[in-house]
Amino acid sequence: MSFNSLRFSTLGVIALLACLMTSAAQATEPAAAQLLLETEWSIVDIERPLPSALTVPGGKTRWELTELSTRPGMQRTIVELADGRLELLERGADGEQRTIYSAAARPWLLPHLSAAEWSELEFTATQAGTTEQIQLRRQRLATGWAFLPSSPYEVVLERIAESVRLRADGPAKLTRVGYRWVDPRVGVVAESWGSPAANGQSIVDLQQAQTLDNVLQGGLGLKIFASEIAATPFGRLALGYDRRGSCTVGGGSCTSNSDCVSGGGDKCTIPISGVTTVAHATMGDLIAATSWDFSPNQLANSRYEIGSTTTPINSAETCNFDKCGFATSTQMGREDKNFNDVANAFVTLSATESEQRPGDFTIWLRGAVRNEGTSTGGLGESESRTCNVGTDGGGRLRPDVPLWRFSNQDMPGAEFYMQSGDSWDHTPFNCEQSVFNHVCPNSCGLFCQIWVKGCSGLPGEGMQASEVIGEGVVTLPSGHTLNTLLVRQVVDFCVYLGSGCGLQVDSVHQVIYLWVAPNVGTVVRLMSEQNESSDSTFTDLMETDIKYGLLPPRSISSTGSDASTIDISWDPGTITGHIDGYKIYWDTDSGASTGYAFNSVDNAGQINVSGTTATISGLTAGTTYYITVTALSDYGDLATGVITTYESLLFPTATSGAGAPLPAELVEMTSGGSCTPTAEVTGLTISQVAGGIEACWDASSDPCVDGYSILGANSPEAAGNFSTVVADTGLTTCHTFNPTEGYFLVVGKGTGGTGPWGHYGM
């Protein structure tokens, strides 16, 4: 068979016999290099049984990979060279491998440092003197949590089709398909690669897989932005447990000191060793950990449930509405401990005011009330109100107390955030009247005004000071996992009955540890006894607030689909008594880019919900949908009795930032549909190989293409001369066959027909 050279002046539809040529380019040594990322990895033993979460990860948002059999594998280092290229060095037991990438590979190698979303990418890779042109096609499949042998990670799952072009004008041949789990703060944390199936959409033969062990350098710290802490009135509900204590002498279970009557200083405290799955002896041991599992705290071992909301400040919400601090603010944090028993509830309130300042965003604590309406007990047990604004009765200025301060910016004009290492405080209390001990709305009475000031003998500085001391993953009693910042807050002062601060009657050095999650708020609060001599060596707690809700489902799965419907199910977590319903959202683009166009309330006719499953109907055939689910809870305001339906966190409007959470979002496609490609296939070459000829072409970016057809002719002068030689190659971009024709072209296939393949006469 003879082949003659002919090419139409179109986008490239007909190719004749050509030789593939390898272009070699020797990488030059850089003048300087900047380390961008250094990580340690384990290799997965793919000969052992593998979970479907690794081999077929699509259709789910939670990937359990903790039982993978792995071995220490390699250390990866990525540096940026002086000319902008990137060098990847992989060192392992088998030696080391060095690859130089063009700058265009940055979103691929460093996804956590590249905010831009991408669906196609092309760059060069040079290894051992040989340069290849790499072409990648990326599809985001889901967001959720991947549980690896090393740690849980909040991730985006993406499918990658990798094609290699051995010369600049040659075809890009599909060589492998992979799945990558990408954490927005540390980059890729797990990946699996193998030979592509005929449709190019999955792995037919798994060849390698690896998981992240450790980030040595180059990960991004967690950021929590001011907008992710602030809550609008009735906009957020948090439900938690205050754990039951143990009598220090008698050892029995207790809810208060009155339950402990064994003598010898017997009192009710909460041992730190029991609040997490790992028994930590002291608070210092607990906060030194890098992750915390608080799941042992369940309803059975709690003494109270705590409901936390945000409300306006008015007479209906609090009889202290016109008191110092409350009168100057418009928003109030409300914590109702024992909210299920209204008559015996303990109410704590805080009035806050937000201020955008030139160098930071600060949320000021203007006033607070602990145990509003409670008339019995000592300081901290009965009602006590604090005032942190204005002047006292003697004209002394009270220091402003910052509750939260966000002092970092990505760039001037950008939103402020806090991160590990930040701290804030105020000038020490200096003999001021800022505490009131009485029961609102009654008159003050004897010794109702209490003076405070910083004093010697306490480890603090006579003020309320906060510091972000770390970060890590928290597991809550409901089984939900969240990325959090760990904040230590210390309140330190002495208490006096006179304006001269001469007669000291009490002192406070209380240490509070807060685990704070973006858009959710404080998910764990551990409070020391009123007077601790150290911030970390103590072994018991006075109070806990460990959240179990309200949170979105832990995971969503697709259970089937057809041309017009998608079936889903979800895992709401292990604690569901507070959940009164669910709301399902769906759209043809992600909630990370725009709001969802459809939901189960406004589009109730399209969805059938049964328990934790639903069928979404009325969908368009052959269309990709993005789906998420939220939980709903009806909570009665303890002050007014008004019931509000609260909704858990919805998928945020941005996911590329390190501070943004990634609630579960499922990506699923309906079957069928009619879609015809409109783009011509380019880059077709024909080569002689053993057993016939090999046709290769560039992968089409046309979203309608679900395969390719090869057409052949003995004479190319007319379109009618061409007929189908290979009906469907799938999505692979090379095909070996033994035809009788001498001229060939490739067209994209779609459900509605084949695409264009050239224009004669041009």
Segments making up each domain of the chain, as ranges: 1-30+675-762, 31-217, 224-549, 555-657
Rounded to whole angstroms, the Cα distance separating 196 from 730 reads: 10
Q: What are the Cα distances from residue 261, in Å, to 75, 144, 158, 266, 378?
A: 59, 49, 60, 6, 18
231 three-class SS: coil
Q: pLDDT tens, 564-586? A: 999 999 999 999 999 999 999 99
Give mean pLDDT, residues 635-640.
94
Cis ω before 677 (30° cut-off from 0): no
* DSSP string for 98-124: EEEE-GGGHHHH-GGG-----SEEEEE
Q: What are the Cα distances from residue 498, in Å, to 152, 431, 449, 511, 725?
A: 54, 9, 9, 26, 100
pLDDT > 50? residue 626:
yes
**Confidence label for 411 from pLDDT (cuts 50, 70 and 90):** confident
- C-beta atoms surrounding 413 within 10 Å: 6
pLDDT > 50? residue 16:
no
1-30+675-762 with 555-657: one CATH topology?
yes
On the 0-12 / 13-18 / 19+ scale of CB atoms within 10 A, 443 is exposed
What pLDDT sits at residue 732? 80
**Confidence label for 608 from pLDDT (cuts 50, 70 and 90):** very high
- Top-confidence range, 447-456, 537-546, 718-727: 537-546
Q: What are the Cα distances from residue 431, in Å, to 70, 398, 401, 450, 490?
A: 62, 9, 15, 10, 19
| Short-list 482, 636, 490, CA closest to 547 | 482
Give mean pLDDT, residues 549-573.
95
Question: Which residues is 37 bridged to in the sheet?
Answer: 78
pLDDT > 60? residue 70:
yes
Give me the sign of the Cα torsion angle 564, 676, 713, 12. Answer: negative
| Short-list 87, 167, 174, CA closest to 126 | 87
Rounded to whole angstroms, the Cα distance separating 448 from 435 reads: 8
What pLDDT sits at residue 688? 86
Q: What is the DSSP-derived secondary structure letter of residue 672?
A: -
Token pair 């000969």 is at which residue?
47
**Confidence label for 593 from pLDDT (cuts 50, 70 and 90):** confident
What pLDDT sits at residue 691? 78
What pLDDT sits at residue 379? 63
User: What is the end-to-end Cα distance of the chain in Å, rounded?
Assistant: 28
What pLDDT sits at residue 654? 47
Task: Confirm if 135 and 163 have CB atoms less than 8 A apart.
Answer: yes
Give me the sign of the Cα torsion angle 327, 328, 330, 333. Answer: negative
E strand or H helix at 304: strand 302-312
Rounded to whole angstroms, the Cα distance separating 451 from 435 reads: 7
What pLDDT sits at residue 655? 42
pLDDT > 60? residue 15:
no
Asked which of 336-350, 547-561, 572-586, 672-686 is least confident by mean pLDDT, the reply is 672-686
pLDDT > 80? residue 609:
yes
- Specify the CATH class of 555-657 in words: mainly beta
Q: Please enumerate in sequence order all residues whose Cβ is within 8 A of that of 341, keeping only pairs 6 or more positions apart, or say none.
A: none
What pLDDT sits at residue 118? 86
**Confidence label for 652 from pLDDT (cuts 50, 70 and 90):** low
**Looking at per-residue confidence, does 27 or 324 come out higher?**
324
Asked which of 59-68, 459-468, 489-498 is least confident by mean pLDDT, the reply is 459-468
Rounded to whole angstroms, the Cα distance separating 514 from 735 reads: 59
Give mean pLDDT, residues 204-230.
93
**153 CB-side CA count, 13 A:** 28
**Looking at per-residue confidence, does 276 or 15 come out higher?**
276
Tokens coding 47: 């000969």
Q: Please give the single-letter amino acid code of residue 640.
A: T
Rounded percentage of the chain residues whose pLDDT exceeds 70 = 92
Tokens coding 450: 């209490």
Token pair 């001599």 is at which residue?
533
Strands 130-147 and 62-64 turn out to be parallel
Q: Please give the single-letter amino acid code of residue 605.
A: G
Rounded to whole angstroms, the Cα distance separating 743 from 294 reads: 68
**Confidence label for 301 from pLDDT (cuts 50, 70 and 90):** very high
Rounded to whole angstroms, the Cα distance separating 592 from 135 reads: 25
**Confidence label for 638 from pLDDT (cuts 50, 70 and 90):** very high
Cα-flanking dihedrals φ and ψ of residue 363, to 5°?
A: -105, 110
Tokens coding 612: 């934790």
Rounded to whole angstroms, the Cα distance separating 417 from 501 reads: 39
Mean pLDDT of the chain: 88
CATH superfamily, domain 1-30+675-762, is Immunoglobulins (2.60.40.10)
Rounded to whole angstroms, the Cα distance separating 607 from 614 reads: 7
| Short-list 403, 393, 672, CA closest to 512 | 403
Q: pLDDT tens, 112-171? A: 988 777 889 999 999 988 899 999 999 999 999 999 999 999 999 999 999 887 666 777
What pLDDT sits at residue 758? 64
Give mean pLDDT, residues 169-193.
90
Strands 481-496 and 723-726 turn out to be unpaired
Q: Please enumerate in sequence order all residues whose Cβ is within 8 A of that of 347, keeping only pairs 6 or more positions apart, or say none.
A: 334, 335, 336, 337, 369, 371, 372, 373, 638, 639
Rg (alpha carbons) of the chain, rounded to whole number: 32
Fold designation for 31-217: YmcC-like fold (2.40.360)
Tokens coding 509: 């050095």
Full-model pTM = 0.88
